[in-house]
Amino acid sequence: MSDDYYIETSEMTDIDEMMALLDWYGLYDLAGECDRIKHLNRLSPAGAKSRYPTALLLFAAIATRVTTSRVKTSKRLKDPLTWQRLGAVWAARPETEGMPFPEAPPTRDQVDQFVEAVTCQRKKNGARIQNVDWHALLQERFQRTSMDQAQVMGNLVPREVVDWTNPSMSNTVIGDGCVVAPFSGVKKMVDPVTRDTVVIGSRAVNKTKNARISTAFSDLTEDDKLDLSGLNMTSMLTPTEHGWVILATGYAPRAELWSALELFGSIAARAGGGVENLLYDGVMTGWPLDHIAGRHGARVFNKSSAHSAKRRKAGAEDKNTSPATSVRHQADDLIDQLKSDNRYRVLSAELNADKNTKLSESAIRTFNNVLNKAAAVDLHRSGAALPLGISVYRSTSAGAVTGSRNQEHHEGYEIVRSHFRYFKSVEHDGTEGVCQHHLFTDDGALHSVESDGTYLVKTATARSISSTRRAHTNGSPEPRFGTDELWEIPCENGDFTIATSWDPDPTLHTPDSTNHSTADPVLNDLRPISRADGQAYADIANYRNHAESWNAWFKSRLRTKGSRAATLSLDSQLFDYLSAACVRNAISWARWYAS
């Protein structure tokens, strides 16, 4: 990317983080919104006013993500030296002018009651009073504050010219999901014989009354996360020279895609064109790329989707006789040939010297992995023209990133059964006369393709010279964007260029939409920087590690150090996640201010 970012990794002490949080201007913005929420959701016309300012109660609640628990926070705040240092920070803030710092910190019960009031979990006559969507209101204020912070720190500032062949890190948003296991493994079940409700896994004496049962779960089946259970938290951030700025947090009740699109749409609208790039995993594929580019003028950088279809069994007939299916079968045959090479037969004989000994399933899997890796290395190093539907890459792990401490220590390769599409045929005047090229997209890259007598092989890969954003109205009151690309295609008779223009469909579909089509599937899959660009792609893709590191940091600040959620209810967990985002933003703000 065009910006060389170094993220500070040295950790601050607990008291340093607390002081940074109390000195963060965003805390006081959020405190004002907390007062509004409590007013809108008040249980009675009047009530006893707390002797603690809202900002201080909110600080004590958020500081739980510094110490990992309310008990530890209360203990730390009771330390006279800690409270004295925090008092000095409080006195220096312009928002606290005329507000004396209390002699003692709020108790744990007072903080718990404050959080219950803000998250609308208080009850009257046994019924929960929830007149407002507290999370939407607090999230709206948090996103506005975070966007202001990011832009003051130099990120997400709109630029006149956007060129995705050299994407700007300071105009990049990174997103990810984070499944947090439930606080408790206790479950309620119906006895199949007695039909009574029974509690399983609780050590409570009165299991019916006192069992602590988690109620917050995401439906993870749509994302094929069948081995996980819990709440799928979602977030967006932008990495700066002084640390992350978390821009938005939320959760996915069902498929992660819908929450991610909602968060990104809100962020992009606030940035006013300052968001140019989104780094996300394979959740973002197909029509979401159209929507993000067409509505928000941003490109998604991730791996192009690979084939999920099962491979054809050897000798089996296939009723699908389309050209694409035929080419995929040829690609399968190529892999089979690689595996049956004499070198690998020798290796197999050495591995299984005793002809009467059958290899275990795990040994066979390991052996097949060796074959795949060896074949991938040979293919990549040979520079041979690969068939459509087969792509071989160096790994995009940390060891492949420019400047990484692990760079060149080892090489990893992988074979991808990639998607391909016919684009068009073009002619150009070369040194030997008119030259014709058949162009296909394969795994996000543009290739010139020829037949070698057996396979359709990729003989040349185009390079994107420019990829710029184009704004247009098209008669719509909503903003619309397109992209214009210029590609250079190598040819032995003289390189040539072609231009493409993409007008993506900006429609934001819903989970209930029946037609999730794209405006142009070929241009939707074509990336200005694809995996075929090697190091350039690896350097971009690995910035997504920031999102994974943020999620790991959040889990480390839970009471159980990441193994389980710190609280039971959905509202409490959403508050925990938002609190962690506030702590991170406060740390980044303190580092930036100190610089």
Q: How confident is the model at residue 346 (pLDDT cuts 50, 70, 90)?
A: very low
Q: Which residue in this structure is represented by tokens 């309310």?
A: 70
**Which runs of E-coded beta strand occur in 217-275?**
231-240, 243-252
Tally of domains within the chain: 1
Long-range (24+ apart) CB contacts under 8 A made by 220-225 are: 220/179, 222/254, 222/255, 223/177, 223/255, 223/256, 223/283, 225/179
The answer to whether position 587 is within a domain reads no
Q: How confident is the model at residue 519 (pLDDT cuts 50, 70, 90)?
A: confident
Q: How far is CA 427 from the centre of its chain?
A: 41
In whole angstroms, give the CA distance from residue 335 to residue 185.
45
Beta pairing class for 299-301 and 277-279? parallel
Check whether 280 has a pLDDT greater than 60. Answer: yes
Check whether 359 has a pLDDT greater than 90. Answer: no
Out of 51-55, 325-329, 534-538, 564-568, the most confident range is 51-55
Pair 99, 77: CB distance under 8 Å: no
Show the 3-state SS of 379-417.
Answer: HHHHCCCCECCEEEEECCCHHHCCCCCCCCCCCCEEEEE
In whole angstroms, give the CA distance from residue 427 to residue 396.
35
Check whether 307 has a pLDDT greater than 60. Answer: no
Check whether 209 has a pLDDT greater than 50. Answer: yes
Q: Which residues pair with 430 in a beta bridge?
A: 433
Residue 232 class from Cβ within 10 Å (0-12 exposed, 13-18 middle, 19+ buried)?
Answer: buried
3-state secondary structure of 226: coil
In whole angstroms, give the CA distance from residue 182 to residue 184.
5
Tell me what pLDDT residue 523 has.
94
Tell me what pLDDT residue 353 has.
46
Convert the pLDDT of each residue in 435-456 to its tens digit.
999 999 999 999 999 988 777 8
Pair 479, 469: CB distance under 8 Å: no
The answer to whether position 254 is within a domain reads no
Out of 190-204, 360-374, 447-461, 480-494, the most confident range is 480-494
The DSSP code for 310 is P
**Which runs of E-coded beta strand occur in 299-389?**
299-301
- Read off the tokens for 160: 């006149």
Between residues 511 and 88, the one the model is more confident about: 88
In whole angstroms, give the CA distance from residue 407 to residue 397.
10
Tell me what pLDDT residue 303 has.
81
The answer to whether position 36 is within a domain reads yes
Mean predicted confidence (pLDDT) in 321-329: 55
Q: How far is CA 369 from the centre of its chain?
A: 28
In whole angstroms, give the CA distance from residue 261 to residue 164.
21
Convert the pLDDT of each residue in 412-431 to its tens digit.
777 788 888 999 999 999 88
In whole angstroms, give the CA distance from residue 263 to residue 315.
48
Residues 6+ apart with CB under 8 A from 42: none
Percent of the chain at pLDDT above 90?
Answer: 56
Q: How confident is the model at residue 343 (pLDDT cuts 50, 70, 90)?
A: very low
Q: How confident is the model at residue 477 (pLDDT cuts 50, 70, 90)?
A: confident
In whole angstroms, give the CA distance from residue 522 to residue 291.
15
Check whether 282 has a pLDDT greater than 70. Answer: yes
| Alpha-carbon distances of 487 from 68, 162, 436, 464, rounded to whole Å | 52, 17, 16, 5
Q: How confident is the model at residue 509 (pLDDT cuts 50, 70, 90)?
A: very high
Q: How confident is the model at residue 4 (pLDDT cuts 50, 70, 90)?
A: very low
**Which runs of E-coded beta strand occur in 20-171?**
123-124, 127-128
Q: Mean pLDDT score of the chain, rounded to an integer?
A: 83
The answer to whether position 436 is within a domain reads no
> Could you write out the DSSP letters of every residue in 8-29?
--PPPPHHHHHHHHHT-HHHHH
Q: Which domain holds residue 30?
A: 14-132
Tell me what pLDDT residue 187 has.
67
Q: How far is CA 582 from the centre of its chain?
A: 19
Q: How confident is the model at residue 276 (pLDDT cuts 50, 70, 90)?
A: very high
Tell me what pLDDT residue 369 has.
64
Q: Which residues pair with 447 in a beta bridge?
A: 440, 461
Q: How confident is the model at residue 202 (pLDDT cuts 50, 70, 90)?
A: low
3-state secondary structure of 417: strand
Out of 244-253, 418-427, 542-551, the most confident range is 244-253
The answer to whether position 224 is within a domain reads no
The answer to whether position 481 is within a domain reads no
In whole angstroms, give the CA distance from residue 331 to residue 164.
31
Tell me what pLDDT residue 45 has.
56
**Which runs of E-coded beta strand occur in 125-185?**
127-128, 172-180
Q: How confident is the model at residue 376 (pLDDT cuts 50, 70, 90)?
A: low
Q: How confident is the model at residue 569 (pLDDT cuts 50, 70, 90)?
A: confident
Length of the chain in terms of residues written: 595
What is the Cα Rg of the chain in Å?
Answer: 28
User: What distance, in Å, lies between the first and last C-alpha atoms of the chain?
Assistant: 24
Show the 3-state SS of 519-577.
Answer: CCHHHHHCCCCCHHHCHHHHHHHHHHHHHHHHHHHHHHCCCCCCCCCCCCCHHHHHHHH
In whole angstroms, give the CA distance from residue 182 to residue 564.
6
Check whether 590 has a pLDDT greater than 80. Answer: yes
Quick one: which H or E segment has residue 349? helix 342-351
Nearest to 111 by CA among 57, 74, 67, 37: 57
- Read off the tokens for 350: 């050495």
The answer to whether position 577 is within a domain reads no
The answer to whether position 250 is within a domain reads no
Residues 6+ apart with CB under 8 A from 34: 54, 58, 118, 138
3-state secondary structure of 401: coil
Check whether 347 has a pLDDT greater than 60. Answer: no
Question: Which of the residue ranges 133-142, 204-213, 234-243 would you say has the lowest mean pLDDT?
Answer: 204-213
Q: How far is CA 367 from the centre of its chain?
A: 33
3-state secondary structure of 151: helix
Tell me what pLDDT residue 186 has.
66
What crossing angle do the helices spanning 256-271 and 287-296 adopt, rounded to 10°? 10
Question: Which of the residue ranges 286-290, 569-573, 590-594 would you say has the lowest mean pLDDT?
Answer: 569-573
Check whether 136 has a pLDDT greater than 50. Answer: yes
Check whether 275 has a pLDDT greater than 60. Answer: yes
